[in-house]
Structure 1
Amino acid sequence: MNYILADGLHRKALLPFTFTRPVAEIRIGILTISKKWEKWLGAPCSFLTEEYLQEKFPIQVEAENVVIIGSFLPDSTLVEAIKSLKSGEALVLNEEVLAYSTGDPKDSFDVKDYKQVPFRAEVFSVKNTWDIFSKNGKALQADFDLITKGRKSAELSGTNQLIHPENIFAEEGAQVEYSILNATQGPIYLAEDSQIWEGSLIRGGFALCEKAIVKMGAKIYGPTTVGPQGKVCGEINNSVIFGYSSKGHEGYLGNSVLGEWCNIGADSNNSNLKNNYAKVRIWNYATEAFDQTGLQFCGLMMGDHSKSAINTMFNTGTVVGVNVNIYTPGFPRNFIPSFSWGGASGFKAYMPAKAFETAEVMMARRGVTFDDTEKQILQHVFDLTGKWRKY
């Protein structure tokens, strides 16, 4: 069967991260949602997403296709139900479609045209930006169990102190020296060629993806994920950092999500708790308003290619768009539109040509080419988000 991951109803609520990727390319736990589905299904998946993203994330269409809504995460019960779908059937939970079988996935979907198959088990889903960090522990444990089942960890150096080593798994090439890894509260997964430098204190759950680095003396509390080729240091608590992003110096990052190609300047900090201990409200692109998260702890949501200078301070529940450059002292406002340049004293538009120069240099340092496809995506994001840049 041919499997396609569709953005579904929750794409807007997952902005700014879905400005530059399909919903199923969000990383939560160890793997992206798409990689989870591919492992569970034993088959490749393609994407049904926004037209401007489709060149980078193409769709593969066959005579018969199963379209899975990408905000839902797989487990054995859901996978079994999806594999049992027949042509013209839709799997439905409380009137929300989980998946459907179709000959033409590009055709407009109406559940009334399908035989509805009720799904009666619980589902694990990501429907808001804050779900990415707040549900990271559950996703991390599920991925750890899936990836390590029946396998033996590579041996770690005797210079380290390992607490509950049975919950620690290192792939070949992972390097750790003179550090403390405590897997009492959750598993610790170290991918191929990842590195934890001397003097680091790691409390699981924790995932360090391929070629990612924890620099000397870091203090990391779980559940936290550092994506491929990420670099981190300082103090980090319950955060998800997508691939190629850096928080490479002292400073605090808590209950936060960083997209790809972000950089947090030295001694920058975010607040994750209001002084009055009230529940945190955060900007929601779907409603274009500050919505209640229901969480007491909620920090920074930062889209791809955004940067902050040294000593930047972020208020509780701040949302930063794509390609934002923050460099003036003080607390910037808690919603910063994409392609903004400035800080607490005010912002101006960050023009694409200038932003592209920075992206090209940064990506080249990691051996990645900033090509025309990337330019077209970011240009589209610039055009799409102009209504919020009122300077």
Structure 2
Amino acid sequence: MNYILSDGDSRTALLPFTFTRPVADIRIGILTIREKWEKWLQTSTSSLTEEYLSIKYPLKMEAENIVINGAVLPNEALVGAVIELRPKQALIGEEKVIAFATGNPEEAFDLDDYERIGFEGELFMIKNTWDIFSRNGEALQADFDFLTKGRKSAPISDTNHLVRPEHIFVEEGAKIEYSILNAANGPIYIGKNTEVWEGSLIRGGFALCEKAVVKMGAKIYGPTTVGPYGKVCGEINNSVIFGYSSKGHEGYLGNSVLGEWCNIGADSNNSNLKNNYAKVRLWNYATETFDQTGLQFCGLMMGDHSKTAINTMFNTGTIIGVNSNIYVPGFPRNFIPSFSWGGASGFRTYNLKAAFDTAKVMMARRGKEFDEKEQAILEHVYEATEKWRNF
């Protein structure tokens, strides 16, 4: 069977992260949603996403296809129900279409044309950007159980102090010295060829993905995920960093999500709690207003390729789009559109050539190429977000 992960109706609610990737390529827990499905299904998947993203994430169609809602995380019962679907059947849970079997995934979907199969099991779906950090603990535990089942952790140097070592798993090639790892409140997963430098204090749940680094003296509170090739230091609490991004110095990051290729300057901080303890509102790309999250703790949402200078400060509930550069003193506005350059004293549009030159250099440092596909995607985002750059 050919499996396709669809953006469905979740994409807009998950901007700015879905400006540059399909919904299924969001990281939550240890793995991206796509990686979870592919490991459970033991096969590759493709994407049904926006046309401009298809140059990087092409759709693969066969005579028989099962299209899965890319915002839904798999579990054993759900995977079993999905693989049992037959042509013209749709799996329904919590009044949402979870998956359907079709010969043509690109044709308009009409539920009335399908036999409805009810799913009564547990359903884990990310519906908003803040779900990525607020539900990261659940996803991290599920990934930890799945990835480590029946396996034995690599040995951990006895220079470290471990609390609940049975809930700590280290992959081959990882280096950890003179640090404290406390898994009493959640599992700790240390990925392949990672490094935890001396003096680090880590409380689970925590995931350090392949070739990521925790620098000296870091203080990390779970549930937190650092994606592949990430580099972190300072104080981090309940945050998700997708991958290839750096928060490599002192400063606080809490209840936040960073996309890929981001850089947080030294001594930069975000607020995750309002002074009056009120619930936090976030910019909504669909309504173009600030909508209620229902959360008391909510920090920074930063799209791919965005960066801050040293000593940058962010108010509670700040949204930053793709490829923005924030660098002047003071608190900037709570919504910073994509391709913005400036800070509290004002913004201007970030020059495309300069933005691309920076992306080329940063990606090359991680052995990745900023190619024509990457450039075309960012050019589309630049044009699509122009209406919000009314500087």
TM range (shorter): over 0.9
Question: Could you say which residue in structure 1 is the equivalent of 2:279?
Answer: 279
Aligned partners of 1:148, 1:3: CA distance in 2, in Å? 25
Question: Could you say which residue in structure 1 is the equivalent of 2:83?
Answer: 83
Question: Could you say which residue in structure 1 is the equivalent of 2:6?
Answer: 6
Q: Which structure 2 residues correspond to residues 65-104 of structure 1 after superposition, within 5 A?
A: 65-104=65-104
Report SS of the residue matched to 1:10.
coil
Q: CA RMSD in A?
A: 0.7
Question: Could you say which residue in structure 2 is the equivalent of 1:190?
Answer: 190
Q: Could you tell me the TM-score, scaled by structure 2's length? A: 0.99
Question: Could you say which residue in structure 2 is the equivalent of 1:52?
Answer: 52
Aligned partners of 1:115, 1:99: CA distance in 2, in Å? 12
Deviation at 1:109, TM superposition (A): 1.1
Question: Could you say which residue in structure 1 is the equivalent of 2:150?
Answer: 150
Aligned partners of 1:94, 1:368: CA distance in 2, in Å? 40
Deviation readout 1:63-103 (Å, 9 max, x if unpaired):
00000000000011111111111100111124311100000
Report SS of the residue matched to 1:333.
coil
Report SS of the residue matched to 2:142.
helix
Deviation at 1:130, TM superposition (A): 0.1
Question: Could you say which residue in structure 2 is the equivalent of 1:32?
Answer: 32
Letter in 1 for 2:28: I
Deviation readout 1:252-275 (Å, 9 max, x if unpaired):
000000000000000000000000
Question: Could you say which residue in structure 1 is the equivalent of 2:211?
Answer: 211
Report SS of the residue matched to 2:67.
strand
Deviation at 1:121, TM superposition (A): 2.1
Query: Is 1:109 aligned to 2:109, yes or no?
Result: yes
Aligned partners of 1:312, 1:374: CA distance in 2, in Å? 28
Question: Could you say which residue in structure 2 is the equivalent of 1:322?
Answer: 322
Tell me the matched-pair count: 391
Aligned partners of 2:327, 2:43: CA distance in 1, in Å? 45
Query: Is 1:293 aligned to 2:285, yes or no?
Result: no
Question: Could you say which residue in structure 1 is the equivalent of 2:334?
Answer: 334
Aligned partners of 2:154, 2:108: CA distance in 1, in Å? 49
Question: Could you say which residue in structure 1 is the equivalent of 2:128?
Answer: 128
Query: Is 1:359 aligned to 2:385, yes or no?
Result: no
Aligned partners of 1:53, 1:297: CA distance in 2, in Å? 32
Aligned partners of 1:153, 1:125: CA distance in 2, in Å? 30
Deviation at 1:48, TM superposition (A): 0.6
Percent identity reads 72
Aligned partners of 1:190, 1:145: CA distance in 2, in Å? 14
Aligned partners of 1:96, 1:39: CA distance in 2, in Å? 23
Aligned partners of 2:122, 2:69: CA distance in 1, in Å? 15
Which structure 2 residue ranges, 5 or more long, are not aligned?
A: none
Deviation at 1:286, TM superposition (A): 2.3
Aligned partners of 1:66, 1:366: CA distance in 2, in Å? 35
Which aligned segments of 4 or more residues in structure 1 are displaced greater than 4 angstroms? none
Deviation at 1:132, TM superposition (A): 0.2
Greater mean alpha carbon deviation, residues 101-110 or residues 21-30: 101-110
Question: Could you say which residue in structure 2 is the equivalent of 1:179?
Answer: 179
Question: Could you say which residue in structure 2 is the equivalent of 1:168?
Answer: 168
Report SS of the residue matched to 2:66.
strand
Report SS of the residue matched to 1:61.
coil
Letter in 2 for 1:337: P
Aligned partners of 2:80, 2:362: CA distance in 1, in Å? 43
Deviation at 1:11, TM superposition (A): 0.3
Aligned partners of 2:351, 2:114: CA distance in 1, in Å? 46
Aligned partners of 2:312, 2:107: CA distance in 1, in Å? 46
Deviation at 1:58, TM superposition (A): 1.2
Question: Could you say which residue in structure 2 is the equivalent of 1:348?
Answer: 348
Greater mean alpha carbon deviation, residues 330-339 or residues 114-123: 114-123
Deviation readout 1:278-328 (Å, 9 max, x if unpaired):
110101112221111111000000000000000000000000000000001
Deviation readout 1:312-355 (Å, 9 max, x if unpaired):
00000000000000001000000000000000001000121110
Letter in 1 for 2:321: G
Letter in 2 for 1:113: D
